[in-house]
Amino acid sequence: MSGNWQWDDLRIFLAVSREGSLAAAARALGIDHVTVGRRLASLEGMLGARLLHRTPAGASITTAGQVIVAECEAMETAARTAERLVAGHDTRLAGTVRLTATEKIAYEILVPCITELRQQHPELQIDLLTGVRSLDIGRREADLAVRASLTRPAEHGVVCRKLCDIGFSLYASTRYLSRAGTPVRGKGLAGHNVIRFLGAPRGIGEPFLGESLEGARIALRCNDQFVQLKAAAHDLGIVEVACYFGDSFPGIRRIWPDNPPVLKALWLLCHEDMRGATRIRVLSSAIVDSFQRNSKVLRSGVRARHRSGDPQIDF
């Protein structure tokens, strides 16, 4: 491509083609939609070709746009690789680190960890991205990720370290169980209302501890676990959640309190090109220490602590 091509314009074109609209691309890029439209129009004007069909319903790629997508993606890969390689040799204890995790992990463990770390290194800035969607480490959607997975994640160019095991169980309100009855472990959830994710997170195994959902009714689908637990507390149905979260949430209880939690491993992921950066190493070490301090309650839950005499949770 000639020297007149601007990478920022191509980046915007790729974002619109992937997200399906100017507004969605603007949100993904963190800029306003007017800028997206202006830069896209500038690129199309330079090329003398329309790259996207824009309608009130969204945007779709044209034949001309399809011709350059692969080359734009190759440029994107090269740019991301260069960014990682440079960042991976940065020895400063300053700058930005993009960290992703679920809301509850961020709330209970990562925020206290970050607060303590920044008291020592005030030049660090942490962008904490919460939710269950797995952000792309290779594309630097995140620099570090905390993810639950039954098996060791195996993504190209990504290194990982196990943080701890985290216990999961099923929860509902007492009023719901009084009304609908308590299901029998191993016999499925037929006849019950369930609260689940919109699209299950990858790699965490069968939902609802592997219980059959044949004959169950989906009462609510939502990707925010705070909302899921609030719905369960309002008697809407059964929800699967990490025990350290469910045990401390008001209005719900484990439906099988005498059964041990089902364990899933929690991992810290980083791209191999980035792990040499000083700010990445320091934050990673602080995260590992925080999870080790809280490993017992993350594994067994809060109520199990009182039975077993474990120390107070360090949140």
Over residues 211-230, mean pLDDT: 94
Query: How many angstroms separate the CA atoms of 90 and 201, rounded?
Result: 33
Domain locations along the chain = 7-87, 166-263
- Pairing assessment for the beta strands 238-242 and 158-172 based on DSSP bridges: antiparallel
Q: In Å, what is the CA distance from 166 to each residue of 147, 150, 162, 163, 244?
A: 11, 10, 11, 9, 8
Mean pLDDT over the full length of the chain: 84
Beta carbons of 140 and 98 less than 8 angstroms apart: yes
* pLDDT tens digits, 46-94: 888 888 877 777 788 888 878 788 777 777 777 776 665 665 555 566 7
Query: How many angstroms separate the CA atoms of 196 and 176, rounded?
Result: 16
* pLDDT tens digits, 228-280: 999 999 999 999 999 999 999 999 999 999 999 999 999 999 888 777 888 89
pLDDT bucket at 314, cuts 50 / 70 / 90 = very low
Query: How many angstroms separate the CA atoms of 229 and 223, rounded?
Result: 11
Whether the model clears a pTM of 0.85, i.e. scores above it, the answer is no
Class of 166-263 per CATH?
alpha beta
* pLDDT surpasses 60 at 302: yes
Q: Which two tokens stand for residue 266?
A: 């929690």
Query: How many angstroms separate the CA atoms of 292 and 30, rounded?
Result: 34
CATH 1.10.10.10 fits 7-87, yes or no: yes
Query: How many angstroms separate the CA atoms of 124 and 117, rounded?
Result: 9
Query: How many angstroms separate the CA atoms of 261 and 256, rounded?
Result: 9
Beta carbons of 284 and 268 less than 8 angstroms apart: yes
Mean pLDDT comparison of 17-31, 151-165, 192-206, highest-scoring range: 151-165
Q: Which residues contact 16 (CB under 8 A, 6 or more apart)?
A: 22, 25, 36, 40, 52, 59
Query: How many angstroms separate the CA atoms of 113 and 118, rounded?
Result: 9
In angstroms, how far is CA 122 from the centroid of its own chain?
Answer: 26
pLDDT at 297: 92
* pLDDT tens digits, 16-45: 888 888 888 888 777 887 888 888 888 888
Query: How many angstroms separate the CA atoms of 221 and 195, rounded?
Result: 6
In angstroms, how far is CA 37 from the centroid of its own chain?
Answer: 29
Q: What percent of the chain has pLDDT over 90?
A: 44
pLDDT at 277: 85
Q: What percent of the chain has pLDDT over 70?
A: 87
DSSP category for residue 148:
E
pLDDT at 133: 74
* pLDDT tens digits, 120-136: 999 899 999 888 777 77
pLDDT at 310: 36
Query: How many angstroms separate the CA atoms of 136 and 143, rounded?
Result: 9
